[in-house]
A and B are shown apart, each in its own frame.
Chain A
Amino acid sequence: MKTQKNISKVLLYTLLIAGVICSIGPFYWMVIGASHTSGEIFKVPPNFLPGSELWTNLKNLDESIGILKVLGNSLTITLIYTALALMICSASGYAFAKFKFKGRDAIFFVLLLAIMIPYHVTLIPLFKMMAALGWINTYQAVILPNLAYPFAIFLMRQNMKALPDSLLEAARVDGAGEFKIFFTIVLPTMKPSLAAVAIFLFMFQWNNFLWPLVILNEQDMYTLPVALSSLIGLSKVDYGQLMMGTAISTLPIMIFFLLLQRQFISGMLGSSVKE
């Protein structure tokens, strides 16, 4: 019995560790690659240790896409988007979770349905709309279309449901206005959920590719993913530079995630994960 238990333990750990190598390996490879030249990246047998070309790659990357400008675009768009979307989605989530009003279920159903609609359907009319407004190559064109993000509203609603009604009632009896209740009771109590949804929204916009690709066509306005994809289109691809770019686009979000992962994962699941 004891040996059997040990055997299954060894098997389990082998499986799990093999899985970890597969899922983390590419990140390691990316960081290593960012410090090598194209030639060194494609050496056989491969290099598994960091190289010395980190600064050269960074300099080359800056020359070809203007990494600071691109990083600034991505950060500006993502931060403004996250702040606005968080306000809009948490307000709606609160309404759907804690109020009874005419049309509530119908509106919520339509929002849920929108999760199933492929984003591509809206692509061309949105493009035409932005063109008509003269908003091609603007931040607002990237930010506006996804502000009312159905999945985030859904998550907020799930989390807000846990808020006790008696708390809200007590505040109302005390004479607090609805806005006051929302800002001084609901939002502070929901901080962990807000954080989780904020990370979710941040990642969505940071990684967003297809819409920015369509709406941004001036290199000065590119976001990080769009700028990276433009590097692949070149006739001679500098892979060291490219790896540097992917590392810059991935590492901040990885660190961000590692710091906040507990909140993020539980928030994603509607606070149903118990440790």
Chain B
Amino acid sequence: MAELQKETAAKQVYEPKAHKKNWITPKNFPYILIAPTVILFCLFTVYPVISSFIMSFQKSDGAGMAFVGLENYVRLFRDPLFLTALKNTFFILIIQVPIQLFLALILAAALNSKLVKMKAFFRISYFMPAITALVAYSIVFMIMLDENYGIINYFLSLLGMEKVGWLTSTTWSKVALMIAITWRWTGYNMVIYLAGLQNVSESLYEAASIDGAGRIRQFFYITIPQLRPIILFTFVLSTIGTLQLFDEPFILTEGGPNNSTLTISLYLYQNGFKYFDFGYASAIAYVLVIMIAILSWIQMKVAGDQD
């Protein structure tokens, strides 16, 4: 005990000296702070992104990889399965993303209304789906969407409707996928819109009501224009997310029936980790990168021009 006290006393004496020699300054400190990020990022993101780009021009050749130029890319656009995956992904993108974002906007506007109480309860309830594992909710939806015994078809039968082959018909399987995705992400986007609505001035709505504009007109002429930058943000995020769609079709339908829910990511996975065709899978990945870049650019351009 006495020894320990002596030690700490000694330390205290030496501390000012040690402090003078301090080699950490406000100048080099930020580099120390970002060093782990930069190192990890270079190793696990930058290097793989470059490596995958190079691989997309290569083909497995015995043990190694041989350079084949654009062969993988040419093959892609002659590959009927890839074209199907491309069509499916875009079909989902064009229909599901606007529906989901519009629904999220309506919910946000409704929740923002002064007439509604228990806002926290509604907000949490709607956000809840966004915290679940994609695998878990896909499994639950798979069971609920069963053609003969699923609960969703049961409810439809109560309304006097025919059984729907959610996971067995090539048309309905896409709808099933879209329902599942809408369930997962609508509340998430709604919360983002709610945050945006906090910054919309109440006086805009008051002025509009004095001018006699109803709620629906206020929604289209105030809410939507005021939230435009945030809507753009969610559009870009949802587009990126949809183009990368993997977990849901993997669990829910395995890309079937008859490849009707095969997505680009699923096809990439199959080529990479089922057939171990790394060069071809890398080419698919880069087509995905290019599409995301182009679509994000278009979306920002379209929104930017209107300002």
CB within 8 A of B36: which of A91, A107, A129? Answer: A91
- A118-B240, A120-B244, A124-B281 are known contacts. Are A23 and B183 too (CB-CB below 8 A)? yes
Contacts of B141 in A (CB 8 A): 26
- A23-B126, A120-B265, A153-B37 are known contacts. Are A228 and B134 too (CB-CB below 8 A)? no
- A12-B116, A210-B269, A265-B191 are known contacts. Are A253 and B132 too (CB-CB below 8 A)? yes
Q: Is the CB of A249 within 8 A of B135?
A: yes
Contacts of B136 in A (CB 8 A): 30, 207, 225, 228, 246, 249-250
Minimum Cβ distance to chain A for residue B278 (Å): 5
Q: Is the CB of B29 within 8 A of A43?
A: no
Q: Is the CB of B44 within 8 A of A122?
A: yes
Tell me whether B91 is interfacial, beta carbon within 8 Å.
no
**Interface residues on chain B, number (Cβ under 8 Å):** 92
Contacts of A195 in B (CB 8 A): none
Contacts of B86 in A (CB 8 A): none
Minimum Cβ distance to chain B for residue A167 (Å): 14
CB within 8 A of A126: which of B30, B44, B126, B269? Answer: B44
CB within 8 A of B139: which of A23, A210, A246? Answer: A246
Chain A residue nearest to B281 (CB atoms) is A124
- A178-B26, A273-B198 are known contacts. Are A229 and B251 too (CB-CB below 8 A)? yes
Contacts of B159 in A (CB 8 A): none
Minimum Cβ distance to chain B for residue A128 (Å): 8
Minimum Cβ distance to chain A for residue B281 (Å): 6
Q: Is the CB of A16 within 8 A of B133?
A: no
A: residues with CB less than 8 A from B are 5, 8-9, 12-13, 15-16, 19-20, 22-24, 26-27, 29-30, 33, 41-46, 88-89, 91-92, 94-96, 99, 101, 104, 107, 110-111, 114, 116-129, 144-148, 150, 153, 172, 175, 177-179, 182, 203, 206-207, 209-210, 214, 224-225, 228-229, 232, 239, 242-243, 245-246, 249-250, 253-254, 257-258, 261, 265, 268-269, 272-275
User: Can you name 11 extra interface pairs (CB under 8 A) apart from A107-B38, A117-B45, A254-B131?
Assistant: A13-B116, A19-B107, A114-B41, A128-B278, A146-B44, A177-B19, A177-B22, A178-B26, A245-B139, A246-B136, A261-B124
